[in-house]
C-alpha cells in the first residue's frame, strides 16, 4: 500500500453533496507529513459560462480556468496548508479517468508552484493525490503521482475518513516587521518594468527571510525538537509565538523615498528612484499532529510570511494595471489579511481599503465554496500598528511636494508611483500614493 490519507469526515459529506452535479473537478486541501497526509477540506472548481467540464466528455477540461482557480485557492491558505491534489466526480469507470486525473494534478501543481519564491527542499513531499468519486455508486478510487517526476506512474493510496483530523493541530504565529527596498525604473517606463523591480526586491528579501534566525517563545531550540511532546491533555490546541530575526540591508535601512526631478521647460521628468515596502505583517502556520518539529514550524511559517507579502504586492500590481487602463483611481491600498475559521484551522483573504466584509465573504463563497458569514471574519490580527508612522511618512511626502512644486501632468500612474511611493504593509492606512 502507498501513502495513507486521513480525511476529515466533512470532506466525505461535501463530496457526496456534489454527486448530483457531476461531472466536475475540484481541489483537495490539507498538509503532508512523512508517513501520511491529512485532508481537511475540498472545494470544487466554480463554473463559468464556458463550463470547465462538458457533461459526457471527461477529457475536455478547461485547464486555464482550473489552474487559475488553483492559484487563487493557494493564495488563501495559511502556512502549513496547501493543495494536496485534485478530485473528479463523474459516472465514468474509475480506470477510464486515470489519464484525465494525471493531466489535472500535474497542471495544477505547475500553476501553483509558479508563485513560490522558495526552492523546494529534499524533505518536501512531492506526491500528490488524485481521487475519483463515482457519482452513481459513490465509490472512491484513490491514486498518487510524484509531481517532481514527469514520468511518474499512478500508485495506490489508502483513503480513510475520520472526525477531528485537525482539531488539535498546534498553531505557530508571529508579527514580523517587513522592510523591502525596491529599485524603480524611470518615469514613463512600462508597468512590466515596475513589476520586474518588485519581483527582484521580493526575491532578495525572501532569501534574507530564509537565512533568518527562528525563535519559538523567545528561545532558539534544536530543529528536531518535537513541539507536542510536552502536551499533557489530548485535543488541547497548542499556540506558539515565534520570532524571525534578520539582518537588514544596510544601504537601504533608513531609506523611505528617493527620487530625482529634472525640469525641461514645462515638462517634469522623473529620473528613477526607489520604494521601500515597510510595515508589520501577521503570519501564521498550522502543524500536523504527527510529531511536528521545530524545523517544520520554521519552514512553514517562513513560507507563509514570504507568500502573504508576495500575494499582496501582486494584488497591488493587478490593481495598478486596472487603474492605468481605466484611469479612474488616484490611490491604491495594500490589502489587509482577513482570516476565516474552519474546523480547527483557518483560511484567509485580502481586503482592500475600499472593500467591505461582504466582498470578502463573496470571494470565500465563490473560490472556496464555503457557507461563510460576515460575523465570523477575523480582521483583528493585522491592526493598524503603524498608523503614526504612516501619517509621518505622508506628512513628509506632502511637505516635499510643497517645497518642490511640480507641473501637473495627465495621469502618468507608473511615473508618479515611482516618484511618490511609500507602502506600509498590512495596515488600513498603508497606501500606494499615485500623485498626478
Grid coordinates representing 135 are 457519482
Beta bridge partners of 245: 213
Cell numbers placing 395: 506628512
Confidence category of residue 284, pLDDT binned at 50, 70, 90 = very high
| C-alpha cell of residue 115 | 508563485
CA distance 283 to 341: 15
pLDDT at 122 over 90: no
Which tops the pLDDT comparison, 337 or 411? 337
DSSP codes joined into one string, 102-136: HHHHHHHHHHHHTT--SPPPTTS--EEEEEEEETT
Residues 6+ apart with CB under 8 A from 238: 168, 170, 171, 227, 228, 231
Domains recognised in the chain with CATH numbers: 4-162 (3.40.140.10), 171-433 (no CATH)
> What is the residue-averaged pLDDT of the chain?
78
The percent of residues in the chain predicted with pLDDT above 90, rounded, is 45
Each residue's pLDDT tens digit, 151-185: 889 999 999 999 988 888 999 999 988 888 877 66
Cis peptide before 23 (omega within 30 of 0): yes
Distances (CA, A) of 7 to 117, 136, 174, 293: 29, 21, 28, 22
Reduced to 3 states, what is the DSSP secondary structure of residue 315? helix
Per-residue CA distances from 17 to 14, 75, 159, 246, 366 (Å): 5, 26, 18, 48, 17
Q: Which residue has the higher pLDDT, 135 or 321?
A: 135
* Residue 410 pLDDT exceeds 60: no
Alpha carbon of residue 402 to chain centroid: 39
pLDDT of residue 249: 53
Cα–Cα distance measured from residue 353 to residue 429, given in angstroms and rounded to the nearest whole number: 8
Q: Give tens-digit pLDDT for 316-329.
A: 888 777 766 544 44
Q: What are phi and psi of 174, to 5 degrees?
A: -160, 155
Whether 239 has a pLDDT exceeding 50, the answer reads yes
Q: Which residue has the higher pLDDT, 400 or 73?
A: 73
pLDDT reported for residue 196: 81
The tally of CA atoms less than 13 A away on the side-chain side of residue 229 is: 7
Instruction: Say if residue 314's pLDDT is above 80.
Output: yes
The pLDDT value given to residue 9: 95
Q: What is the pLDDT of residue 247?
A: 75
Rounded to an integer, the average pLDDT of 7-34 is 93
Q: What is the pLDDT of residue 326?
A: 42
Above 70 in pLDDT, residue 203?
A: yes
Averaged pLDDT, 346-368: 93
pTM: predicted TM-score of the whole model, two decimal places: 0.81
Tell me the helices (H) and strands (E) count for the chain, helix number first. 8, 20
Highest mean pLDDT among 60-69, 350-359, 367-376: 367-376
Calculate what percentage of the chain has a pLDDT beyond 70: 73
Amino acid at each position: 500500500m502507498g501513502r495513507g490519507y486521513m480525511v476529515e469526515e466533512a470532506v466525505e459529506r461535501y463530496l457526496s453533496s456534489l454527486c448530483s452535479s457531476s461531472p466536475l473537478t475540484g481541489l483537495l486541501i490539507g498538509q503532508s507529513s512523512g508517513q501520511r497526509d491529512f485532508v481537511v477540506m475540498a472545494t470544487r472548481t466554480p463554473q463559468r459560462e464556458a463550463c470547465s467540464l462538458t457533461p459526457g466528455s471527461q477529457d475536455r477540461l478547461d485547464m486555464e480556468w482550473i489552474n487559475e482557480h488553483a492559484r487563487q485557492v493557494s493564495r488563501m491558505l495559511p502556512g502549513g496548508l496547501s493543495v494536496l491534489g485534485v478530485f473528479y466526480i463523474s459516472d465514468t469507470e474509475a480506470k477510464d479517468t486515470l489519464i484525465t486525473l494525471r493531466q489535472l494534478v500535474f497542471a495544477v501543481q505547475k500553476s501553483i508552484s509558479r508563485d513560490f519564491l522558495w526552492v523546494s527542499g529534499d524533505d518536501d513531499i512531492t506526491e500528490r493525490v488524485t481521487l475519483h468519486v463515482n457519482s452513481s455508486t459513490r465509490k472512491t478510487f484513490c491514486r498518487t503521482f510524484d509531481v517532481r517526476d514527469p514520468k511518474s506512474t499512478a500508485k495506490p493510496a489508502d483513503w480513510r475518513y475520520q472526525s477531528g483530523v485537525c482539531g488539535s493541530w498546534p498553531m505557530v504565529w508571529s508579527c514580523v516587521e517587513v522592510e523591502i527596498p525596491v529599485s524603480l525604473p524611470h518615469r514613463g517606463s512600462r508597468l512590466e518594468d515596475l513589476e520586474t523591480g518588485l519581483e527582484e526586491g521580493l526575491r532578495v528579501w525572501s532569501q534574507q527571510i530564509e537565512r533568518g534566525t527562528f525563535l519559538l517563545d523567545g528561545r532558539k531550540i534544536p530543529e528536531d525538537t518535537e513541539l507536542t511532546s510536552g502536551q499533557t491533555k489530548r485535543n488541547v490546541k497548542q499556540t506558539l509565538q515565534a520570532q524571525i530575526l534578520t539582518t537588514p540591508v544596510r544601504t537601504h535601512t533608513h531609506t523611505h523615498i528617493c527620487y530625482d526631478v529634472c525640469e525641461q521647460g514645462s515638462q517634469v521628468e522623473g529620473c528613477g528612484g526607489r520604494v521601500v515596502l515597510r510595515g508589520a505583517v501577521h503570519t501564521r502556520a498550522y502543524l500536523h499532529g504527527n510529531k511536528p518539529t521545530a524545523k517544520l514550524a520554521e519552514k512553514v511559517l517562513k513560507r507563509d510570511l514570504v507568500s502573504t507579502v508576495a500575494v499582496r504586492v501582486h494584488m497591488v500590481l493587478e490593481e495598478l494595471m486596472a487603474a492605468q487602463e481605466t484611469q479612474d483611481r488616484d490611490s491604491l491600498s495594500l490589502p489587509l489579511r482577513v482570516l476565516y475559521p474552519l474546523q480547527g484551522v483557518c483560511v484567509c483573504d485580502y481586503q482592500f481599503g475600499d472593500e467591505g466584509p461582504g466582498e470578502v465573504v463573496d470571494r470565500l463563497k465563490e473560490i472556496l465554496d464555503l457557507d461563510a458569514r460576515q460575523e465570523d471574519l477575523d480582521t483583528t490580527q493585522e491592526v493598524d500598528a503603524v498608523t503614526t508612522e504612516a501619517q509621518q511618512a505622508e506628512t513628509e511626502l506632502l511637505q516635499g511636494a510643497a517645497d518642490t512644486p511640480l507641473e501637473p501632468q495627465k495621469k502618468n500612474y507608473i511615473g508618479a508611483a515611482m516618484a511618490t511611493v511609500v507602502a506600509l504593509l498590512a495596515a488600513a492606512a498603508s497606501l500606494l500614493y499615485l500623485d498626478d
